[in-house]
Chains A and B, each alone.
Chain A
């Protein structure tokens, strides 16, 4: 009896639980696993890049501020 309930439960679970997935595109096993393999590398590079961009941004802001000030000085 217990087994039957369990089986019914299992069937019910498969019928009701999984909503239809619409991932119709096969990601390719290799491509999927490859992303997991390089995840650390991608994350690390992105982290470094973000920092570099931020630093560059500060300098840019600085130089544009300077340029703006010089312009103002010239105008005044």
Chain B
């Protein structure tokens, strides 16, 4: 039987990840067996599981090609997300988790051989380390092999977001191996460059990469040792660097949406009731809240036990959503910074390493509230195209139509020519009826907004 290796699992010779009968497994190669045994028997695995920082796994008896290699089945992750889809605090928490795992590993005689942000996923609002094979035996005297990667995957993007512009987070999708330190050094403003942590781990680090290029490590190091004390000092220095990076509070268009829009309390409460009723009717297992804002409606679904991916194109509301769920210790929500008009594509080696949004498991239902006017008017996407777009993703759609009389739509049209004669409730219903059957329709009181529950037509 041929094993279907995941396209992203090619770098590490210790083992690989594969899919079998819809489940994810990890094979441990012979050369890594002893290290894996140390992880399991030294107490490190138990400690990390107890602190909810490493994905738990069970060893399974799957025999492939008559080999007797160890195969483990990690606990499934509800939805794989990538660093370029995370908010500032998600990346910061992922960085701190990586350092916690590294510190814990060191106290059990092991060390992380990589520090990739792609090794972290989120479950119920908390980051978790998913690469069980990232550990190696700690060799006293050697520097941290993953120092460069840690700076490129965490420190540089966080510093850029905090000190230059949070939108630079998207650089990550162009630089999958992390933000080159010389680039980060160039983009950081002077006042950020002179901060000791940035000066040391980004600026001087980048300079030394240039200085020592093509040098022989053996010759240059002259047998100099990197003591365990220095190693712990390095991890400690990185930890306090990360802890001190703070995102300046920025107010964007959408972060104040619920405070200064045209909603009346009665309308808003009715909307919540209708969404609750529709979600209950469909009772999906998974839902995507597209244009989720700070997640008010995502929470309705999440509280009903529906796993909800809350996407928004506005960075700050995603940040607020994440911080709120962290504060309230909420489950079932995954806030992600995704622009529906330009969602994550398949990228990396052979354009297969990181899946596009649509290659990941599609949801049972989609919530599209106060969204259609932005796509149809803000982005000139025809209603017929939108209807087909939603039909490709889901069987159930809870969608709000906001008509031209609504103040938000008026705002979109105030300084431009109205080239949307077809943007009417009638043509919306007509175009969507090609792909969906409207099961329910509720006009929200004192508003120009209607909510629909639609089911995809059987083809």
Contacts and interface: CB of A to CB of B under 8 A. Distances in A.
B331 interface: no
The contact size tier of chain B is: 35 or more
A65 B151 CA distance: 41
Contacts of A31: 143, 147-148, 151, 205, 208-209
A33 B236 CA distance: 19
B143 A22 contact: no
B146 A27 contact: yes
Contact of A25 (B146, B210, B213, B233): B146
Contacts of B35: 22
A39 interface: yes
A33 B143 CA distance: 8
Interface stretch (B38-46, B71-79, B221-229, B267-275): B221-229
Contacts of A45: 233, 236-237
B136 A23 contact: yes
B143 A35 contact: yes
A40 B230 CA distance: 7
A42 interface: yes
Q: For chain B, what secondary structure do more than half of its interface residues adopt (helix, strand, loop), or is it mixed?
A: helix
Contacts of A42: 230, 233-234, 237
B457 to A, nearest CB: 50
B5 interface: no
Given A22-B31, A22-B32, A25-B146, A30 B212 contact: yes
Contacts of B220: 33
A54 to B, nearest CB: 14
A20 B227 CA distance: 24
A47 B228 CA distance: 12
A36 to B, nearest CB: 5
Contacts of A35: 143-144, 147, 226, 230, 234
Nearest to B116: A25
A38 B14 CA distance: 31
A25 B114 contact: yes
A49 B31 contact: no
A41 B234 CA distance: 9
Nearest to B211: A30
A47 to B, nearest CB: 7
Contacts of A28: 148, 209
Contacts of B227: 39, 43
A29 B148 CA distance: 10
B213 A22 contact: no
A32 B145 CA distance: 7
Contacts of B144: 27, 35
Given A35-B226, A44-B233, 18 more contacts: A24-B13, A24-B113, A25-B145, A28-B148, A29-B209, A29-B212, A30-B205, A31-B143, A31-B209, A32-B145, A33-B208, A36-B143, A36-B221, A38-B204, A39-B226, A45-B237, A46-B236, A46-B237
Interface of B: 11-14, 31-32, 35, 113-114, 136, 143-149, 151, 200, 204-205, 208-215, 217, 220-221, 224, 226-227, 229-230, 232-234, 236-237
Interface of A: 19-20, 22-25, 27-47, 49
12 contacts: A24-B13, A30-B148, A31-B148, A36-B226, A37-B208, A42-B230, A42-B234, A42-B237, A43-B227, A45-B237, A46-B236, A49-B236
A-B pairs, top 5 by smallest CB distance, nearest first, are A46-B233, A30-B209, A42-B233, A31-B148, A35-B143
